[in-house]
Amino acid sequence: MSSKGSGKGRPSSETSSPGGSEKPKRTVLVRSCSPSASGPRGPRVAVIGGDGIGPEVVAEALKVVRAATVELDTADFDLGGARYLRDGTILPDEVLNELRSFDAILLGAVGTPDVAPGVIERGLLLKMRFALDQYVNLRPFTAAAKGIDMVVIRENTEGSYAGEGGVLRRGTRHEVATQGSVNTRMGVERCVRYAFALAQRRRRHLTLVHKTNVLTFAGDLWQRTFDEVATEYPGIDTAYCHVDAACIHLVEDPDRFDVIVTDNLFGDILTDLAGAVTGGIGLAASANLNPERTGPSLFEPVHGSAPDIVGTGRANPLAAIRSAAMMLEFLGEADAATRVTQACTAAVGRAGTTVEIGDAVAERV
Ligand code: IPM
Ligand code: MN
């Protein structure tokens, strides 16, 4: 099924909303309160609806932003697996350069079962993360009933995602494949620093998650960097967890976590688990941040394109709407961001189609 053929094409059960079958309509531009044709138009946002349910959930996110009366100047980019199958385009450098001129990117989901694994993931998603230096992948998780209010800071440009390695004698009995993990002092330190600064603004607790007992080279670099930066933050309680133990804690004792900082691959896996224990991946939002703002940051739901439920109205738009709220926050619209996030929380568990849930959130903001 799709989850095998494409990294973002996850099973529908994870993203579907409680019911309904209405086909959602697509919104393209958000110009809710243009003062005049020549007046200021608000932040410029590149919108990549992408594949599968991506365009459906992004349309709801833009509808909610408009309801929050934030004006965005949006431009659609037709990118993803479907585009690739149509004309071979993934992310040409001219398009990447065009994206650089935007204030933010809002993405639905990319990936189709008919494209080999890695083509769109590496060629589009990872290319944007790396080239636009979105080195922090910030994923918040809340579940009031379980006392969970945590944020995972995942390093987003290095580790085993860097693409180090290769293959020799492919397809023969003597095939050799290596896939290394790249960890630089600079890359680890800037991510760890971001996590400390965030913990300082929250409950002042930061946990490093790694596997220092086995990955002794990379783990040592992470641990030393973490310990050194910690000396600059005496007010923050620090902890360390091996990634396997962190999985148990996430399920059995999640309220021990405030902020987690971890490497790229551990963060990928841990955030799917965190999504699953906090109401499902259909609620999980993420921000790929370039904190220095030398390029646009990208906001996207954690879930995939779920091609098996496309057009059924069963896609839950809340993760995409929450991702748009994170974008508003990053763009300086803190008040609107809070209203949208609160309206999403109120809509959790609500039955309805993609459009109905989007409408319900839009009415509350
Ligand atoms: C995510 C996704 C991506 C990742 C894939 C699709 C490349 O799983 O955003 O978590 O592994 O980072
Ligand atoms: Mn993932």
Q: How far is the CA of 9 from the centre of ligand 1 (A)?
A: 10
Query: Do residues 136 and 187 make contact, with C-beta atoms less than 8 angstroms apart?
Result: no
Mutate to test the pocket of ligand 1, among 15, 268, 271, 299 (most ligand atoms within 8 A of CB): 268
Order of all β-strands in the sheet with 259-262:
73-76, 44-50, 104-109, 297-301, 285-289, 136-143, 148-155, 259-262, 205-210, 237-242
User: Does residue 63 share a domain with residue 156?
Assistant: no
User: What digits encode the pLDDT tens for the residues 23-54?
Assistant: 333 333 333 334 445 556 799 999 999 999 99
User: Does residue 129 share a domain with residue 35?
Assistant: yes
Residue 68, pLDDT score: 97
Torsion of CA 40, 41, 45, 50, to 10 degrees: -160
Residues lining ion ligand 2 (Cβ < 5 A) are: 268
In the 8-state DSSP scheme, what is residue 26?
Answer: P
Residue 129, pLDDT score: 98
Range of the domain at 242: 141-162+182-279
In short, whether 24's Cβ falls inside 6 Å of ligand 1 is no
3-state secondary structure of 122: helix
Q: How many domains does the structure of the chain reveal?
A: 2
138 exposure class (CB count in 10 Å sphere: 0-12, 13-18, 19+) = buried
In short, whether 121's Cβ falls inside 6 Å of ligand 1 is yes
User: Does residue 77 share a domain with residue 122?
Assistant: yes
Consecutive 10-residue runs of the chain (365 residues): their mean pLDDT?
38 43 36 46 95 98 97 97 97 98 98 95 97 98 92 98 98 98 98 98 98 98 98 98 98 96 98 94 95 98 95 97 98 97 94 97 97
Question: How far is C-alpha 291 from the geometric centre of its chain's CA atoms?
Answer: 15
Residue 282, pLDDT score: 86
Residue 40, pLDDT score: 63
E-strand ranges in the chain read 44-50, 73-76, 104-109, 136-143, 148-155, 165-168, 176-179, 205-210, 237-242, 259-262, 285-289, 297-301
Give me the CATH number covering residue 231: 3.40.50
**pTM (2 d.p.):** 0.90
User: Does residue 107 share a domain with residue 8?
Assistant: yes
